[in-house]
Chains A and B, each alone.
Chain A
Amino acid sequence: MSISKISPELFQKLVGLAALELTDEESAYLLTEMNHQLSSVNALLQVPLDADIQPTLHGIQCQGAGPRADVWQPFPTPSEILAGAPETEAGMFAVPDVKGAK
């Protein structure tokens, strides 16, 4: 059986979508590893699925506390949050211009 592989072109497209930049060496390594992992993943295509099986997002039936009420609660010390930012301006996160914004 032959199995599908991720092409270098598709790989480069994914790198762009993931907002990453890679060296040639990194690209070669990561593409090889992705295709090796895909060899494992392809085993799923051979699994005889039970006819009545439904996809599950959690192993157990969720018995959680559930979401909180959608009520705005101020964080007590927003200055602590801003203190961790690489750059701030007038109490806000500061970033370079967005491309084409000017």
Chain B
Amino acid sequence: MSLNQLSALEVAAHVRSGELSAREVLEASLAQIHAVDGVPGSLDQKSLDPAEEQKVHAFIRLTEDLAHRQAEEVDRKISAGEDPGILAGVPVSIKDIFTLQGVETTAASRILYNFKPPYTATPVQKLIEAGALILGKVNLDEFTFGSSSESSAFKPAPNNPWETSHVPGGSSGGSTASVAAEEVALSLGTDTGGSIRQPAAFCGVVGLKPTYGRVSRYGLMAFSSSLDCPGPIARTVSDAALMLQAIAGTDPKDSTSSVVPTSNYLESLKEGVKGLRVGLSPDYTHLFYPDFETGELGIESIQKEISESVLHAASVLADLGAEIVENVPLPNAKYSIPTYFVVSRVEAASNLHRFDGVKYGYRTPVEVEDLQDLIRRTRAEGFGSEAKLRILMGMYLSSEGFAANYYQRALKVRAMIRRDFDRAFDPHGEYRLDVVLTPTTATTAFKRNDIFGNTVRMQYSDQMTVSANHAGLPAVSVPGGLDADNLPIGIQFIGPDFREDLILRAGYAYEQATLDEAWRAVRPAVLRQEVAK
């Protein structure tokens, strides 16, 4: 087994014990990146040769010098008998939506192509303080606006390591691709409507959206401030728990970061699922897709292999002593995407007003008449189509005359989505659930360019994930099998507020009980090619 296949827990244990140096781990990680990643995303990327088409392209920017300094510091601490932190020597990538002082932070947008922030995001700082090695910034949908990573202004967009003609999902597609391709052990992503869990499902890795406020948003460029959650991406459930341990907690720099104490997420994994009540809902077995002429929601089936994986997971958990509760009603889940279209667009439009070519980032090189002309031209040239669309939609939905019908109503439907979960988790109610088990996505990864441009179809790829964002609840996607094309399937556990321990326990129990299943021996295509060379 190569160093890059080790889990974060194993790397940290070996580095802390002195069996491995952080420098050795770093060199192995850099070698893997150079072998599988290909050219980094950039604004002036030309056409790719066939060999480059097969690469992962997760990274926009490597931070090798920084990682070397961090590795030296970890190794120095080990030599000096000091505590190097729980992530000592663990290679990590950062979604390029988090600030890192002095390092370009682009949000995958032309309008921030040269932005060097003067401060570091709190979750990134916590990773550094825990001894992690920051290998670089990874690609994403522009400002996180998308579910395939194709809307990035930095091309090539990331590919799916399992099949490079397919998307890795999004918006944290660079993060999940870099972890699946064993370039890094962990990545820091964000999840506003499913942007950690959906790409985690598509790339066959673990993706955790914590409870809203569990992880600080300071230094995260805001998309939809009431929904955004930073969170871990890893190859194993225990690694996700380890990373959450490092980044969770209150932060005086984020007034919405929670003061609720954190748990020992790693320790609680061992408690198993005996007696845990796991819910299955008929409202998570179909997509509800609108007719563009009538607005009526039609019903579409989800991919059969995914439904089967969810039922198999329920059966595995039942064998371990969990109690499966069927027919749990979550009837307002079908309105989660319409609600998301309103809430997220209104908040995005507000958050994107700050980009004007005055204080930082891109400014039009064209000679302008006055300040207003400068702002218009800068925004026209700096934003991609998806960002413009979200600004315009958000302004429309919140404008006078429409806000009562749309925005106010969406906030009420959001409350009803939350109420559904409150009833399901109520310890004195009919269902008394500990977790809800659902598919993470309705399909496995789709091909590049198959959906991109159809913004409604793209948004509906988050149908299974977005309710947890509306409700603020923690949810995790764990690998649940492969389809007939060897593309990964994700299953999702949703839990009550601040009960990340419960969803991680359920995910861990399922993972450990299925370690011997045949699909777990299959490797992503880019790693199979690597062996063949």
A interface residues with partner B (beta carbon < 8 Å): 1-3, 6, 10-11, 14-15, 17-22, 26, 29-30, 33-37, 39-47, 49-50, 53-60, 62-68, 75, 77, 80-81, 83-87, 93, 95-99
| A37–B393 CB distance below 8 A | yes
Q: From known contacts A14-B396, A44-B410, A68-B252, infer whether A20 and B388 are also in contact, taking CB-CB under 8 Å.
A: yes
Q: How far is the CA of A93 from the CA of B471 in the complex (A)?
A: 41
Bound form: Cα–Cα A30–B414 in Å: 26
Give every chain B residue within 8 A of A1 (Cβ-Cβ).
294-296
In the complex with contacts A39-B295, A44-B410, A97-B370, A56-B418 CB distance below 8 A = yes
Known contacts A37-B341, A65-B255; is A59 also within 8 Å of B358 by CB?
Answer: no
In the bound complex, residues from chain B placing their C-beta under 8 Å from that of A75 are 118
- Across the two chains, which residue of chain B brings its CB closest to A60? B472
Residues of B whose CB lies within 8 Å of any CB of A are: 114-118, 211-213, 226, 250-252, 254-260, 288, 290-297, 332, 335, 337-339, 341-342, 349, 356-363, 368-377, 379-380, 383, 385, 388-389, 391-393, 395-397, 399, 405-406, 408-419, 455-456, 459, 469-473, 497
* A56: B residues at CB distance < 8 A: 411-412, 414-415, 418
**Residues of B contacting A93 with CB < 8 Å?**
358-359
State in angstroms the CA–CA spacing of A86 and B368 once bound together: 14
With a cutoff of 8 Å between Cβ atoms, the chain A residues found around residue B339 in the complex are 44
A52 CB to nearest chain B CB (Å): 10
Q: List 24 A-B contacts (CB under 8 A).
A: A3-B293, A14-B396, A26-B388, A30-B385, A30-B388, A30-B392, A36-B455, A36-B456, A41-B338, A44-B335, A44-B339, A44-B410, A47-B332, A47-B335, A49-B413, A53-B415, A63-B258, A65-B250, A65-B254, A65-B257, A81-B360, A84-B118, A84-B360, A96-B369
Min CB distance, B387 to chain A, in Å? 10
A3-B294, A20-B380, A85-B358 known; A37+B412 contact, CB < 8 A: no
Interface centre among B389, B392, B418, B473 (most CB of A within 10 A): B392
Q: Which residues of B have CB within 8 Å of A86?
A: 357-358, 360-363
A89–B228 alpha-carbon span in the complex (Å): 36
State whether A96 and B368 are in contact (beta carbons under 8 Å apart), knowing that A60-B212, A65-B250 are contacts in the complex.
yes
Q: Please determine whether A58 and B392 come into contact, CB atoms closer than 8 angstroms.
A: no
Contact check: which of B117, B338, B419 meets A53 at CB < 8 Å? B419
A58-B226, A65-B251 given as contacts; is B358 within 8 A of A95 (CB)? Answer: yes
Give bound CA distance, A81 to B445, whole Å: 41
- With contacts A85-B360, A95-B358 known, is A55 near B411, CB below 8 A? yes
Taking A43-B335, A56-B414, A60-B213 as contacts, is the C-beta distance between A33 and B471 under 8 angstroms? no
Contact (Cβ within 8 A) A59 B212:
yes
Which A residues lie within 8 Å of B372 (CB)? 19, 98-99
Q: Are B259 and A6 in contact (CB under 8 A)?
A: no
Contacting pair B408 A14 (CB below 8 A) = no
Contact A18 B418 (CB under 8 A): no
Contact residues in B for A10 (Cβ distance below 8 Å): 396
Q: A98 to chain B: which residues have CB within 8 Å?
A: 370-372
Asked if residues A34 and B379 are in contact (CB atoms below 8 Å), the reply is no
- In the complex, the answer to whether B416 meets A37 with C-beta atoms within 8 Å is no
Contact A36 B292, beta carbon cutoff 8 Å:
yes
Q: From known contacts A14-B396, A63-B213, A99-B371, infer whether A39 and B471 are also in contact, taking CB-CB under 8 Å.
A: no
Q: How far in angstroms is the closest Cβ of chain A from B103?
A: 12
Asked whether B392 lies within 8 Å of A34 as measured between CB atoms, the reply is: yes
B395 close to A37 (CB less than 8 A): no
Bound: A84/B237 CA distance, A: 40
Q: Quick check: B409 and A44 within 8 Å, CB to CB?
A: yes
* Complex alpha-carbon distance, A11 and B254, angstroms: 36
Residues of A within 8 A of B455 (CB): 33, 36-37
- Cβ distance A54 to chain B, nearest Cβ, rounded Å: 6
Contact (Cβ within 8 A) B370 A96: yes
Chain B residues with Cβ below 8 Å from A85 are 358-360
Q: A30-B388, A39-B291, A43-B335 are in contact. List 14 more A-B contacts (CB 8 A).
A: A3-B295, A33-B389, A34-B392, A34-B393, A35-B292, A36-B456, A37-B341, A47-B409, A53-B419, A56-B415, A58-B212, A60-B418, A86-B362, A96-B370
Q: Complex: how many Å from CA A81 to CA B116?
A: 9
Are B409 and A49 touching (Cβ within 8 A)? yes
Q: What's the nearest-Cβ distance from chain A to residue B297, in Å?
A: 5
Candidate in B332, B349, B368, B409 with the most chain A CB atoms within 10 angstroms: B409
Contacts of A80 in B (CB 8 A): 116, 118
Residues on B with C-beta less than 8 A from A14 are 392, 395-396, 399
The interface residues of chain A lying within 8 Å CB-to-CB of B118 are 75, 77, 80-81, 84
Q: Is there contact, CB below 8 Å, between B406 and A21? A: no
Q: A1-B296, A59-B472 are in contact. Are A49 and B213 (CB under 8 A)?
A: no
B288 surroundings in chain A (CB, below 8 A): 43
Cα(A58)–Cα(B226), bound, Å: 6
Task: Indicate whether A40 sits within 8 Å of B338 (C-beta atoms), given known contacts A56-B414, A60-B471, A93-B359.
Answer: yes
Q: What A residues does B388 contact at CB under 8 A?
A: 18, 20, 22, 26, 30
Contacts A39-B291, A63-B260; is A44 near B456 (CB within 8 Å)?
Answer: no
Of B295, B356, B371, which is in contact with the most chain A CB atoms at under 10 Å from its CB? B295
Alpha-carbon distance A3/B295, docked complex (angstroms): 7
Across the interface, name the chain A residue whose C-beta is closest to B216.
A65
User: Contact: A20 with B376, CB < 8 Å?
Assistant: yes
Chain B residues within 8 Å of A64, by CB: 213, 254-259
Within the complex, the shortest CB–CB distance from A2 to chain B, in Å, comes to 8
